[in-house]
Structure 1
Amino acid sequence: MDFQLSEEQRLMIETASRVGAEFGPDYWREQDAKKSFPTEAWAGICESGLGGVSLPEEYGGSGLGMLDMALVVEALSAAGGGATLAQLFMINPIFGGVALAKFGTKAQKDAMLPALIQGKLNFCMALTEPNAGSNSLEIRTFAHADGQGWRLKGQKIWITGVPDAQKMLVVARTTRLEEAGRRTAGISLFLIDVDREGLSHQPIEKVGTNTLASSTVYFDDVRIEPDELIGTLDGGWHQLLDVLNTERIVTTAGLVGAGSLAIRLAVDYAKDRKVFGDKPVAAYQGVQFPLAQAHAELQCARLMNLKAASLCDTGLPYGSEANIAKLIAAQAASHAIERSMQAMGGMGYAKEYHVERLWRDARLFRFAPVSEEMVLNFIAMHDLGMPKSY
């Protein structure tokens, strides 16, 4: 097993760190306060070629893999963005890019991938529903046939980035659950315009990740054209899993970066802070040990995530590794940020020192995009061979 990075990967990480530093913690604090989409940061990421790192070269991407994307997201997040920066990669290179690159037609790829890679077209994905939650096979949003296309009715909730997106990947039933024969059948993916008659959305007020809006979305007889189907009609479930599993990898990379950023901020503060005499508080084991423990936990999550990404790139199963990495990274990042805040004392609670934003943002990922409990269910069933518990 080779743990060495290539020269290309090292240069890519250096580029990501440099671009991330251009949009450092102060920038993200301002965007968070304004609840404003980080347009300038995403433009800078795309201009540097990092937004299309894993997308096909023929459309302007780098043609690399998920391992490379994970390294990029981690470096960008650690430079200032924290966990929420990874959401930019979720909505665009994952929800839009993976769906199109793997399952789109040539016409769909030609029309959308270059604009996505250039940062000129933003995406979102409408999956979660109020009465389904983590049980995605119970979704009820339905697209019924209407001539050569479809008409869409239903409701989605906690959809990221809707107001700033032009395209929405919609997960809907095209055969009702009661008629499908099996639960995984009858689900289809569509890529439609956000600005479309019958599609409306309203914001959800929330604690953190304020730079990307979360919305409730309503579909009231929305027209879907024949060329907006992504992949196979009624066969979208297994195609969706390719999107969701790569989303895990990006999420984990962002969490590792966020935890690393918090520790760095705490260490820098503790080196300067003196309370009892001339000795900085960084010299006390009571400050050192929690941060060292958090660092160790983050490194373990990082290695599992890079393993998952490597398996993904070689076409091998990686679901268990991606889920385990996300589980541990969410806990490790929360631990790292909490301990960093504690090390900084009262100033850890102050907005000017940034850790409180990292704390608010990272909390989301204990239950999103998949909850800790559902990951543990997966591990128990798929890795330990235990019976289904839910």
Structure 2
Amino acid sequence: MKNLFIKTERQRFLLEQLAAIAEPIKAEAAEVDEQSRFPFKAHQLLLQVGYPRFTLPKEYGGEGLSVYEMVLVQETLASYDENASLSLGWTLGVVGEIYEKKLWAEELLTAFAQKIKKGALINRAVSEAATGSPTRGGRPGTNAVSTKDGWRLNGRKIFTTASPVLDYFLTSAWIEEQQQIGFFLIHKDAQGLSIEENWEMSAMRGTSSHDLVLQDVVVAKEYLVELPNHPSGGKINGWLLHIPATYLGIAQAARDYALHFANHYQPNSLNAPIGTLPNVQQLLGDIELKLDQARFVLYGVADAYDDPARRALLTNEMAVAKHTVTNIAIDIVDKAMRVVGAKSLQLSNPLQRYYRNGRAGLHNPPMDDMTIIKLATAALEQQK
């Protein structure tokens, strides 16, 4: 991370907190990937520094991080372990969105803040096998029926990231009697709730994004927390920038590895390390260029979002940041692997993990095709 993007002493302190726990998180990362298990050590260490309350506003007892600051810590954490960053970043994003937009009743916001301060983790459970990405507008098959005790939910959610450690699942369901989608706050210990451990992926293996299964789960009336169809009413949500921040962290880690390798690897055919070779310097220079491009886009959008006057002018910039950062990160990892050569494909080499995990970003919302089409239609409409 360049000091150029650290603007305050508080931000510096946040990064120092993460740096203090960096080594054990890094040490666990390879094992997490190999065993396809959740990064429990990182989870415990992050709880100790109060990670879940980072984006909880100060008036509710949290740290009150801005979107810019969230991106800063997420990128840094991802450079240690991208699985931990993507998994636990969802709590930061969901909490930031809920409290900024006041999506819930004030009484519930106040009560839930106490849970967050004690380390509770939350994520949205939205995706389903039949609907694909929820951003494409499919109606959930999970359904909610009113009963005398509240609501009875049945259904199955896929891609429930961080499922082994989540305390709350903010779950979308179709309410037939109201002909709309609602979000229900469900505690992990609710009767009828279970996790089917079936996450078998070649990328982001440590996110434990298993299936959430709901069988006649009863939820109290007041825990139908969000209506109508879209939880944020279609407003721009800057808190989703925790996603590209993770992929920027992967790019940073790949760059750091390639740079160290170039400075220290010297085959006996050379009189100096390979970093002295023009073709290697070309690759390293391209990496530096692209890393700066991605970082200026991401932090520029985050900074604009944090300014209410500029936020009102934002349209597709969140999607632009995600598209730009994700694709550049993939390119950076590719170039880093070209610097390192065949050694980068060894299972003991972190670059092969960065390669697989970086590509996962293509399948996090919004998808590239949707971003490009929205940009085109917006430009056409503006020209009219």
What TM-score results when the alignment is normalised by the length of structure 1? Answer: 0.85
- Deviation of residue 37 (structure 1)? 2.2
Q: What 5-or-longer segments of structure 1 have no aligned partner?
A: 181-185
Asked if the contact 2:11/2:69 (under 8 Å) is kept, the reply is no
Q: Residue 162 and residue 10 in structure 1: after superposition, are their counterparts in 2 closer, same or farther (change >3 A)?
A: closer
Map 1:264-343; keep pairs closer than 5 Å: 264-275=256-267, 276-315=269-308, 316-317=311-312, 318-343=314-339
Asked if the contact 1:12/1:72 (under 8 Å) is kept, the reply is no
Asked if the contact 1:198/1:221 (under 8 Å) is kept, the reply is yes
- Deviation of residue 10 (structure 1)? 4.4
Q: What 5-or-longer segments of structure 2 have no aligned partner?
A: none
Q: Deviations over 1:36-59 (max 9, x none)?
A: 322332333343345433211244
Flag as ranges the 4+ runs of structure 1 deviating above 4 A. Answer: none
Secondary structure in structure 1 of the residue aligned to 2:81: helix
Q: Which moved more, 1:285-294 or 1:330-339?
A: 285-294
Aligned length: 372
- Deviation of residue 236 (structure 1)? 4.4
Asked if the contact 2:184/2:224 (under 8 Å) is kept, the reply is yes
Q: 1:190 aligns with which of 178, 184, 188?
A: 184
Asked if the contact 1:17/1:76 (under 8 Å) is kept, the reply is yes
Q: Residue 81 and residue 285 in structure 1: after superposition, are their counterparts in 2 closer, same or farther (change >3 A)?
A: same
The aligned amino acid for 1:47 is Q
Q: Which moved more, 1:165-174 or 1:367-376?
A: 367-376
Partner of residue 113, structure 1: 113
The aligned amino acid for 2:77 is L
The aligned amino acid for 2:45 is G
The aligned amino acid for 2:251 is G
- For residues 30 and 361 of structure 1, the distance between their equivalents in structure 2, rounded to whole angstroms, comes to 14
Asked if the contact 2:254/2:332 (under 8 Å) is kept, the reply is yes
The aligned amino acid for 2:264 is D
Secondary structure in structure 2 of the residue aligned to 1:352: coil
- Deviation of residue 32 (structure 1)? 2.3
Query: Kindly, what percent of the aligned residue pairs are identical?
Result: 23
Q: 2:237 aligns with which of 239, 245, 248?
A: 245
Partner of residue 81, structure 2: 81
Q: Residue 257 and residue 62 in structure 1: after superposition, are their counterparts in 2 closer, same or farther (change >3 A)?
A: same
- For residues 270 and 299 of structure 2, the distance between their equivalents in structure 1, rounded to whole angstroms, comes to 44
Asked if the contact 1:245/1:319 (under 8 Å) is kept, the reply is no
Q: Deviations over 1:346-383 (max 9, x none)?
A: 22122433112222211111111332122222222234
Asked if the contact 2:75/2:245 (under 8 Å) is kept, the reply is yes
Partner of residue 195, structure 2: 201
Q: Residue 171 and residue 237 in structure 1: after superposition, are their counterparts in 2 closer, same or farther (change >3 A)?
A: same
Secondary structure in structure 2 of the residue aligned to 1:312: helix
The aligned amino acid for 2:285 is A
The aligned amino acid for 1:324 is V
Asked if the contact 1:89/1:250 (under 8 Å) is kept, the reply is no
Q: Residue 68 and residue 225 in structure 1: after superposition, are their counterparts in 2 closer, same or farther (change >3 A)?
A: same
What TM-score results when the alignment is normalised by the length of structure 2? Answer: 0.87
Q: Deviations over 1:272-300 (max 9, x none)?
A: 11122212111222222223223322322
